[in-house]
Amino acid sequence: MLETAIEAAYTAGKLLRQNFGTPPVVNEASLHDIKLELDVQAQKAITKAILADFPQHAILGEEGVSGPADAEVRWVIDPLDGTVNYFYGIPFYAVSIGAQQRVGDDWQTVAGAVYAPELDEMFAAERGGTPTLNGRPIRVSDRAELSEAIVGIGFFKSEDTIRRGLEAFQQLTRRARKMRLMGAAALDTVYVACGRFDGYIEYGIKLWDICAGQLILEQAGGHIDAEPGPEPYGFNVRMTNGKLRLDFDA
């Protein structure tokens, strides 16, 4: 399944890169978010690639759900993570594809790929395997002191998640070496996995933003606290290299 995830991510990434920098078609816009026609087109391309190899599997994506409800495997897709960045011409965005296998009433991620088209960086992992960046093994950082750490943070769309995020930012910015607000959760997650960041937090983030990246981070030696939020497929997450402690109230 990992090979399919990688190839599908490359396919969607090629589409996004070809159109990057041109005025995109906006399907929907709100105060804190934008939905583009390219989101839809990229998910269709990913879905086509996956179902060509695994027609019996289901798709759970930011742009819609398809396939049998009783499928043993579902693919969790964010075809364009960092849509606002993309719309404004900021080259920090990604394609995120994770494959999850049914385990009783729950799901376990077994393969994942996160692709950054503008940097041509492919992060990938299988459960029980070695995570890679463009085929080379990656590992989390060894930094254990917050005063030496780079911590990424994201702000989801609701008033409550923004409030909690601001509280966390206020506490951490006084204690960490630097905070980073990059605008693409999938990349924040894999940046912890490869040691560029030492931690990442966000309240209300969606499953498709972090599904693939979480597996890559786990296989790279990282630690994840994920608390289900009030919205469907929403989570409050604190991710670290497994050595850093993000102990604060927010």
**Of all helices (H) and strands (E), which one includes residue 86?**
helix 83-87
pLDDT, one tens digit for every residue, the chain (250 residues): 999 999 999 999 999 999 999 888 888 777 667 788 999 999 999 999 999 999 999 999 877 788 898 999 999 999 999 999 999 999 999 999 999 999 998 999 999 999 999 999 999 999 999 999 999 999 999 999 999 999 999 988 788 888 989 999 999 999 999 999 999 999 999 999 999 999 999 999 999 999 999 999 999 999 999 999 888 999 999 999 999 998 777 5
Report if residue 245 sits inside a domain: no
Does one domain contain both 35 and 10?
A: yes
- Residues with Cβ within 8 Å of 188's Cβ and at least 6 positions away in sequence, in order, are 152, 154, 180, 182, 197, 200, 202, 213
Does one domain contain both 6 and 119?
A: yes
- Beta carbons of 60 and 83 less than 8 angstroms apart: no
Rounded to whole angstroms, how far apart are CA atoms 68 and 58? 6
Report if residue 250 sits inside a domain: no
Rounded to whole angstroms, how far apart are CA atoms 84 and 122? 21
Does one domain contain both 131 and 150?
A: no
Range of the domain at 155: 146-240
Domain end point (choices 137, 157, 189): 137
Please give the structure tokens belonging to residue 16.
Answer: 């996004």
Does one domain contain both 118 and 171?
A: no
Rounded to whole angstroms, how far apart are CA atoms 59 and 240? 29
Report if residue 164 sits inside a domain: yes
Does one domain contain both 87 and 163?
A: no
Does one domain contain both 86 and 117?
A: yes
Does one domain contain both 151 and 84?
A: no
**pTM here?**
0.94
- Beta carbons of 122 and 10 less than 8 angstroms apart: yes
- Beta carbons of 243 and 144 less than 8 angstroms apart: yes
- Beta carbons of 155 and 181 less than 8 angstroms apart: yes
Does one domain contain both 84 and 10?
A: yes
The number of distinct structural domains making up the chain is: 2
Question: Would you give the DSSP letter of residue 185?
Answer: H
Task: Give the DSSP letter string of 48-62.
Answer: HHHHHH-TT-EEEET
Report if residue 73 sits inside a domain: yes
Does one domain contain both 74 and 187?
A: no
- CATH classification of the domain holding 81: 3.30.540.10
Rounded to whole angstroms, how far apart are CA atoms 75 and 100? 6
